[in-house]
Amino acid sequence: MPNGVRKQDLPSKTCPACGRPFTWRKKWARDWDQVVYCSDACRKKR
């Protein structure tokens, strides 16, 4: 049996630039509350 959390159980947000939902990533674990955009491309496009 694998350990961890299923992808559909991870928290998600909506990107204000493209309107798509994006889910939590491990590299955002420490600052998930400050993450606003889903990618660098969306951040530049804003």
DSSP 2-18: --S--GGGS-EEE-TTT
What range does the domain containing 34 cover? 12-45
Q: How far is CA 45 from the centre of its chain?
A: 17
Element (H or E) spanning 42, and its range? helix 40-45
In a domain, 30, yes or no: yes
Task: With respect to residue 3, please indicate whether it lies within any of the assigned structural domains.
Answer: no
Report if residue 6 sits inside a domain: no
Higher pLDDT, 46 or 35: 35
Per-residue model confidence (pLDDT) at position 46: 75
Give pLDDT, residue 1.
Answer: 56
Residues 1-39 pLDDT 10s: 577 888 889 999 999 999 999 999 999 999 999 999 999
Write down the pTM of the prediction: 0.74
Any domain includes 40: yes
Domain count, the chain: 1
